[in-house]
Structure 1
Amino acid sequence: MKILIVYSCVLLMGMAVTTSAKTLASSPDEKVDMEKNQTIDELASGPEYDESNGGNKRAKRYVNNYYGKLDFNCPSLDSISGIRSCHHNRHEDRKFGFNCKKTFQYNPICETRRDKTWVNNFGQRFTYTCPNDSVIAGIISDHNNHHQDRQFAFKCCQSQFYQKLNGCYWTGYVNLFDQYFEWQPKSGYYLAGVSSEHNNHYEDRRFKFYACSMTLHIT
């Protein structure tokens, strides 16, 4: 099951990992797991952004290592427009990648929650929405090996002028435990909140997202 899950991360990225039947038959599970994980890292590497898809900037690589700190910020006029994540059973951790899109005409006003203001404790469910009709433009996260879990904090930004969120909706859970996911809001909507719960058996999290359309008046 664990080998299939690791394979799914690569398949859903649109790439295929090929390993001979002879190698699979003769290699210990941990060695195979490690080799596949290395291949995933190689396939996910590349330029930080691919801007070929209109105004949607796709970060072509994961922005954190397993066990490593995640500290991601979109370009100054952008907010997060997509999230993808792959779980690894041996590491019991996730890597994350993000898309960003143009959101503001001028540099926004941003509020960042840093290390001592995490939105969750380890093992804890959380639901967080940005204050003051702002949207998420950055994410911070740190992993703890004892708890096999992550804490999260979010950078929220709003226009210098008038900004109002409308038509907001919560998704259902976008992933099962141990499962790869890739999510983006509906066209014209912006990420404004995240909800997540941890499961001690799987040592993993599943996620919901809160998205809104935005009225922006610049005079």
Structure 2
Amino acid sequence: MAQLVKNLLPRRDKRMLEGIKSGSSPFGGQSQRYRHDNDDGLGTSVGRHRGSSGLSPRRSLGRLVPPPSPPEPPSPCPSHTSALPGAINSWDQTFTFECPGGQVVSNVRSAHCSTAEDRVWRFECKSVPGVSSFPEHFWTPWVNDFDGVMDFTCPFNSLVTGFKSEHSNSQEDRRWKVQCSKTAGMVTYNHALTPYQNDWDTAMDYTTAQDYYLRGIHGYQSDHHGDRRYRFDICKLRMDGC
């Protein structure tokens, strides 16, 4: 019966049947059964086909991978006076600044260090025409919380004559007190709010125009940058002669 089936098959199918019986592949080369019989159990036959090294997958798993390099330490901050000549505070330091009698804050400079996530500060003052001293002045409570918005303007026609500030290392921010001062007959007008005077992590150098005076400070903080942006409330001034 088998001989009859063989005689009925086409020539190509006969060759395939004979190859299966002999253990060779009908498509050329050795059959799957032959490759299994010649595998030495160590995977070396597989390794010879996977790479020029000839290493088996089992042996390659034993190779040690070196650990990643540690990150570079952050660069230290420069000295406060190198970062900002004339700075009145060092990094993370509390400071208090007051203008001499009869003067108001006219210039605010600042430099930032990302390692300390803080700023150093310098202030300058200018005289008010017709005013030799301010008999009335007061310090505010803190005008912002750490990480909070700052939105303060001196009341009662008074002007900014001083700042106090302290830094928090845990929140990487500063909070502020402001000294406001006035004298009888002093009236502020033409109130305006400046654009923000610094970008994140950059220096600031703001000076009021010749006939304008500082009457407030505003700002907000970024946890991502560890910094605060600032802008200022300014005005013109007249004396009513009271």
Q: TM-score, normalised by structure 1?
A: 0.73
Q: Which residue, 182, 189, 192 being the options, matches 2:205?
A: 182
Partner residue in 2 for 1:112: 139
Any gaps of 5 or more consecutive residues in structure 2?
Answer: 1-71
Q: Which residue, 22, 26, 37 being the options, matches 2:78?
A: 37
Partner residue in 2 for 1:79: 104
Deviation at 1:85, TM superposition (A): 0.5
Higher strand share: 1
Q: 2: CA distance between counterparts of 1:107 and 1:217?
A: 16
Q: 2: CA distance between counterparts of 1:154 and 1:95?
A: 17
Q: 1: CA distance between counterparts of 2:127 and 2:180?
A: 15
Give the RMSD, CA atoms, in angstroms.
Answer: 1.7
Instruction: Read off the aligned partner of 1:96 and give its amino acid letter.
Output: W
Any gaps of 5 or more consecutive residues in structure 1?
Answer: 1-27, 46-60
Partner residue in 1 for 2:64: none
Q: Which has the higher contact order (CA 8 A, sep 6+)?
A: 1
Once the two structures are aligned, what percentage of the paired residues are identical? 25
Q: 1: CA distance between counterparts of 2:103 and 2:210?
A: 15
Q: 2: CA distance between counterparts of 1:44 and 1:80?
A: 18
- Contact 2:147–2:223, Cα closer than 8 Å, also in 1: yes
Q: Which residue, 136, 154, 167 being the options, matches 1:143?
A: 167
Question: Pairwise mapping of residues 20-169 of structure 1 onto structure 2 (< 5 A)?
Answer: 30=74, 33-34=75-76, 37-38=78-79, 41-42=81-82, 44-45=84-85, 61-103=86-128, 105-108=131-134, 109-113=136-140, 117-159=141-183, 161-169=184-192
1:215 and 2:238 aligned: yes
Q: TM-score, normalised by structure 2?
A: 0.66
Q: 1: CA distance between counterparts of 2:124 and 2:240?
A: 25
Deviation at 1:164, TM superposition (A): 0.7
**Which has more radius of gyration?**
2
Q: 1: CA distance between counterparts of 2:138 and 2:73?
A: 45
SS at match of 1:41: helix
